[in-house]
Amino acid sequence: FLIIFIKSKLMDNILITGVGSYLPDKIILNDSLPSELNTSDEWIRKRTGITQRHIVSENELTSTMAIEASKKALINANLNSKEIDLVILATTTPDNTFPATAVKVQSELNMKTGPAFDIQAVCAGFIYALKVASSILQTSNLNKAIVIGSESFSKILDWNDRSTSVLFGDGAGAVILEKYKDYNNWGLLSSNFYSDGNFSNILYTDNGPGTDSKVGKVRMNGKEVFKHAVDKLSSCLIDVIKDANLSIEDINYLIPHQANNRIIDSLSKKLNFPKDKIINTVDIHANTSAASIPLAFSHAVENKIIKNGDIIAMNAIGGGLSWGASVIKFGKPN
């Protein structure tokens, strides 16, 4: 206890002071999916809970969505973009192989010339980015960061494969991190992240710049991923809550990765976590990979479900396999 107390006194607190999101205007309902897919609204709803997904138009990019989400997060945090000195963007679908999509956001929003880079941890990308950003703030003279999850996942889907194409959507979400000295027990309270490359063959793209000049398309062994998802999402969540010196009852809301209602329901049952304290946007957003948690987070804040001072747990898993969890106390003391 003494060590935790001393550590919390010495470490700066990384507060999450704003959140924002962006969704493309174009919505595809289950019934409007290409008929060649030979799928049905009934199958998709029953197996996943998804009813629709937003899809980018021709002139929308991962960067354009990230920029719009960032503008909203800055307004929500009451900050000017010129105050931001670190940009981290989690994505699997960058605009180009390089430069990082994060530098486009930095330049478009006239941010400082601090570091700006992308993180590739697929659906766990936002959890990874949150941990990396807070660690950088705590160990440098940088003070304010924007952490974004943005994905144009529709561009890497095989639209002839019904077992994957119906599951995903596009969008972006962003949060603002600010470093403070004396706000103990606010902001990022604990976080963890893991990878196990032994399972890289159950969720991957089949091409890429290193293997072929073609853009790789998503391939997934859904049943295998499902099994790992429930186990790993619960274990990293239990660990992160324990590390924060909290118990499950202290968590006001859980924002799990928005992949499938059946995974979320299994998680809720396994941990005895009440379903009415789980933020769920699977039905309207589908699986937006790295954008899924910040999109759901933003949705809950906009709808006044999550409020200043709430304790929020988040957990995600995706290709890699890579997974992890965070616990935060949202906002800023009044």
Tokens of 333: 């003391």
| Contact status: 219 vs ligand UT7 (CB under 6 A) | no
Length of the chain (residues): 334
- Positions in 227-246 near ligand UT7 (CB under 6 A): 229
Segment lying near ligand UT7 (by CB under 6 A), choices 112-120, 242-250, 255-263, 264-272: 255-263
Cis peptide before 321 (omega within 30 of 0): yes
Give the residue nearest to ligand UT7 (CB).
Answer: 222
Q: 143 vs 163, which CB is nearer to ligand UT7? A: 163
Distance CA 222, CA 216 (A): 18
* Tokens 């032994």, residue located: 198
- Binding string, residues 50-79; x marks residues near ligand UT7 by CB under 6 A: ------------------------------
Helix (H, G, I), strand (E, B) or coil at 15: strand
Q: Among all residues, which ones are annotated catalytic? A: 123, 257, 287
Applying CB under 6 A, among 51, 120, 138, 163 the residue interacting with ligand UT7 is 163
Distance CA 153, CA 215 (A): 12
Helix (H, G, I), strand (E, B) or coil at 112: coil
- Binding string, residues 297-326; x marks residues near ligand UT7 by CB under 6 A: ---------------------x--------
Taking alpha carbons only, the member of 115, 177, 175, 113 closest to residue 150 is: 175
193, amino acid identity: F
Q: 244 vs 290, which CB is nearer to ligand UT7? A: 290
| Contact status: 119 vs ligand UT7 (CB under 6 A) | no
Taking CA atoms, 79 is separated from 66, 115, 149, in Å, by 17, 18, 19
Closest approach of Cβ 319 to ligand UT7, in Å?
7
Helix (H, G, I), strand (E, B) or coil at 162: helix
Distance CA 64, CA 312 (A): 28
| Contact status: 121 vs ligand UT7 (CB under 6 A) | no
Applying CB under 6 A, among 156, 176, 225, 284 the residue interacting with ligand UT7 is 225
Phi/psi of residue 275, nearest 5 degrees: -65, -30
Helix (H, G, I), strand (E, B) or coil at 26: coil
Segment lying near ligand UT7 (by CB under 6 A), choices 8-16, 41-49, 82-90, 266-274: 41-49
Q: 112 vs 155, which CB is nearer to ligand UT7? A: 155
Segment lying near ligand UT7 (by CB under 6 A), choices 73-81, 158-166, 268-276, 293-301: 158-166
* Residue numbers at the binding site for ligand UT7 (CB under 6 A): 39, 43-44, 47-48, 123, 162-163, 166, 222-223, 225-226, 229, 259-260, 263, 287, 318
